[in-house]
Amino acid sequence: MEAKANEFSGPVVSSAHLAAGAMPALSEFEFSAIMISHAFDRWIVRCMAAAGVSDMSPIDVMVLHTVHHRSKAKRLADICLVLNIEDTHVVSYAIKKLARLQLVSSHMQGKEKLIVTTEQGANVCQRYHEIREALLVRSVETLGLDQLALSRIAAQMRVISGHYDQAARAAASL
């Protein structure tokens, strides 16, 4: 039986051919990133639906929360920068959809268009927050995770994202 147990040891990956390289742990990280990305997308869409707004894409939800962040007006370029989205039309489309839903509005300040959450948008964000606390935060708290360690993991993920961005730029030049 021991031979069979060892047969399955090693990193958990989705692409063994990529894990066969010099850094199998990176393939393990990538598989985890895929899993968390899809789970996160499902969660934010369903949480927003529970907060009263259905038919939103993950980008729509992220843009709404980014616009609402600190209750300050945001420029399209700043929203794209914060969310690391290079296709401004994707964010622009989400803003138009959110405006149709009366969750955000825009106004001109000089030559710049600024986007803000409406009162309805702020209320939806608050309801989302309450649902998140009740369903997700309480559940994750039961794991007993060290919040400082979780913050360090998040910081490392942001740093690694920069390496993926740099590698993407290099690959585009090939």
pLDDT band at 56 (very low <50, low <70, confident <90, very high): very high
Domain boundary assignment for the chain: 23-169
Please report the pLDDT score of residue 13 as a whole number. Answer: 86
What are the tens digits of pLDDT across the range 94-112?
999 999 999 999 999 999 9
- In CATH terms, the fold of domain 23-169 is Arc Repressor Mutant, subunit A (1.10.10)
- pLDDT over 70, % of the chain: 95
Nearest 10 degrees: Cα torsion 39, 120, 82, 131:
-30
Answer whether residue 27 shows pLDDT above 80: yes
Please give the single-letter amino acid code of residue 162. G
**Exposed, middle or buried, 125 (CB in 10 Å: 0-12/13-18/19+)?**
buried
pLDDT band at 8 (very low <50, low <70, confident <90, very high): low
pLDDT band at 138 (very low <50, low <70, confident <90, very high): very high
- Worst-scoring range by mean pLDDT, 9-13, 67-71, 126-130? 9-13
**Exposed, middle or buried, 48 (CB in 10 Å: 0-12/13-18/19+)?**
buried
- For β-strands 74-75 and 112-117, DSSP reports them as antiparallel
Answer whether residue 150 shows pLDDT above 80: yes
Please report the pLDDT score of residue 14 as a whole number. Answer: 86
Q: Which two tokens stand for residue 46?
A: 């369903």
Please report the pLDDT score of residue 4 as a whole number. Answer: 57
Do 41 and 49 contact (CB within 8 A), yes or no? Answer: no
Please report the pLDDT score of residue 77 as a whole number. Answer: 97
Residue 55 DSSP label: S
Please give the single-letter amino acid code of residue 110. G
Please report the pLDDT score of residue 15 as a whole number. Answer: 87
DSSP line for 8-19: T-S---S-HHHH
- How far apart CA 57 and CA 18 sit, in angstroms, is 30
pTM: 0.90
